[in-house]
Amino acid sequence: MYVGELLKGLDRLPTGVPGLDNLIGGGFLPGRVYLITGPPGSGKTTLGIQFLVEGANNDEKGLFISLFETQDVILRDMLRYNFGILEHFQSKRIAFYDLGEILLSTNRELTWDELFKLLIEIIKREKAKRVVIDSFSLFESFVSDPAGKKKALGRFVRLLRSLEVTTLLLAEMLSSEKYTDEYYLADGVIVLHHFMRNYQMVRALQILKMRGVPHDSNLKRLRFTTDGIRVYPEAPL
């Protein structure tokens, strides 16, 4: 590989979340896969939409692959933010793909390889540069070969890199001792937290892993605003 190509890989893709880029060296690396995990209501879907909106505002085609929610539900939830989400969906700068509907209606279970092949087909067809899969955890219940995951996911990650597609896998938080394959294979892992303190809900974001950037792994305060989620440099306590 030429030095020029290596340096090209140092370009950063703005995340769309105010305050996050400067925690991770300027943004995500193009063509990489990131895992965004956290409990329900921690802001995963909102972060995913912000990432796609940021791309759409810069003429990068976005694709939201949904396993659980329909487009109407996502739209209704996101309309209260100043994202201009309706215009982005209508103009197809952000495409919505209801994969849950398709998987539920097929009689046969797919293997991990077949599932990833299907995802690549959709991503290529939509010519997407930014992809969000919400939620990746749900795939576990659709596949016939649970043990085939690691290899198939490794191939998928390489293919995404060669297509220069930057992908966020949104995943439900399981017990913190149980690290699934995507923790190892992703180029970065961001954990969203919420917990009670003195009868107050505290929200936070944590960079658990980020390849190629020195980063602080402590919790950072996160708040919901009318512009979506925002991260602050201070500790949440």
Ligand X SMILES: Nc1ncnc2c1ncn2[C@@H]1O[C@H](COP(=O)(O)OP(=O)(O)O)[C@@H](O)[C@H]1O
161 sits near ligand X (criterion: CB under 6 A): no
Q: Residues binding ligand X: what is the number (CB under 6 A)?
A: 9
Binders in 204-233 for ligand X, by CB under 6 A: 224
Cβ contact 231:23 at 8 Å: yes
Question: Smallest gap, in angstroms, from Cβ of residue 163 to ligand X?
Answer: 26
Cβ contact 172:35 at 8 Å: no
Of 220, 34, 201, 29, whose CA–CA distance to 133 is shortest?
34
The tokens 């976005």 sit on which residue? Answer: 62
- Scanning 20-28, 36-44, 142-150, 205-213 for contacts with ligand X by CB under 6 A, the matching segment is 36-44
Question: Smallest gap, in angstroms, from Cβ of residue 39 to ligand X?
Answer: 7
Measured distance CA(61)–CA(91) in Å, rounded: 11
66 sits near ligand X (criterion: CB under 6 A): no
195 sits near ligand X (criterion: CB under 6 A): no
Q: Determine which residue in the list 23, 24, 33, 45 makes contact with ligand X, applying CB under 6 A.
A: 45
137 sits near ligand X (criterion: CB under 6 A): no
Burial class (CB in 10 A: 0-12, 13-18, 19+), 44: buried
- Scanning 9-17, 44-52, 161-169, 176-184 for contacts with ligand X by CB under 6 A, the matching segment is 44-52
Residue number with CB closer to ligand X (46 or 166): 46
Q: Determine which residue in the list 28, 32, 35, 46 makes contact with ligand X, applying CB under 6 A.
A: 46
Cis upstream peptide for 91 (omega within 30°): no
Q: If you write DSSP's letter for every residue of 113-139 in order, what string do you get?
A: HHHHHHHHHHHHHHT-SEEEEETGGGG
193 sits near ligand X (criterion: CB under 6 A): no
Tell me the residue nearest to Mg ion as measured from the CB.
Answer: 45
176-182 contacts: CB < 8 A, separation 24 or more?
181/149, 181/150, 181/153, 182/33, 182/35, 182/136, 182/153
4 sits near ligand X (criterion: CB under 6 A): no
Q: Which does 38 bind (CB under 5 to 8 A by kind): ligand X, Mg ion, none?
A: ligand X
Measured distance CA(192)–CA(204) in Å, rounded: 6
- Scanning 39-47, 93-101, 159-167, 211-219 for contacts with ligand X by CB under 6 A, the matching segment is 39-47
Residue number with CB closer to ligand X (162 or 200): 200
Binding site for ligand X (CB under 6 A): 38, 40-46, 224
